[in-house]
Amino acid sequence: MTGGCRPGHNAARTPGALACRPPAGQALRQPDPRDLGVVVGRRARDSVAWMGSYFQSIVDVDATAEAAATLADRLLAWLVERGEVEPGGVTRDRTAVEGVVVDTRRRVYYSLTGEQDIRCPHCAGPTTLEDHLGDVIAEWHEGGSGLAGCPNCQREVGLNDWRWSPPWAFGNLGITFWDWTWFSDAYLDEVSEFLGHRVVRAYGKL
C-alpha cells in the first residue's frame, strides 16, 4: 500500500491492490451529488485524513432492467460471503455519498475528471458530448436505445461501445465504493465473471 492511502478493512480480503486514487495526471472536479450513480461497498478505514472522498463505480452494462434487482441480490450475497461488505450496511436505489449503496435504476455513471476523449470503436474518429452524444444520452435515460451514428464513418455505435477516456458507463445495475483501495483489473474481471456480463469502472472525487 502506498503512503497516504486508506487500507481496506482486511488486507487479505480487500479487493483491488496498489493505488487508492485515480490514475495520476487526471485532475478531478467536484460532482453534483444528484448525478452520482450508485454506491456499494464498505468504506475503508484508518486514521489518515483525505481531502475529499474518492469513488469507483462498477457498472454492469449488460444487465436488463428486469434482471437488475436479482443480479444485485446475488452480487451482494457474494460480497458478504467474501467478507467485503457487511450485512445490513447497504443503501438501495437512492443517492448516497458514503457507505454502501446499490442502484438498480437506469443511470449514467461518469468519471469526474478534468479531461475527456470519446472515439469511435470502428474508425477511432473523435466526437463530443456537446456536439453529438449529449442528446443521445438524454434519450437513453428516458428509455431510448442509446444508438448513434459516428459523425466520421457513419457506423452506428451504442453508448457503452464508444471508447470513453476516462470511462463512462450506462446501465441498470451499478455499485460504487467510496474511499476504497484502487481495484485491480483482475478484481474487475472477477466481478464480471461472477455476473456473466461486461463491467465498466467509472471513478472520481467528491
pLDDT tens figures, 192-201: 999 999 999 9
3-state secondary structure of 57: strand
Residue 135 makes CB contacts below 8 A (sequence gap 6+) with none
Residue 112 makes CB contacts below 8 A (sequence gap 6+) with 28, 29, 30, 31, 203, 204, 205, 206
The more confidently predicted of residues 65 and 176 is 65
Q: What percent of the chain has pLDDT over 90?
A: 58
Of the pLDDT bands very low, low, confident and very high (cuts 50, 70, 90), residue 96 is confident
Q: By C-alpha distance, which of 201, 25, 174, 6 is closest to 113?
A: 25
Mean pLDDT for the chain overall = 79
4-13, 107-116, 132-141, 155-164: range with lowest mean pLDDT:
4-13
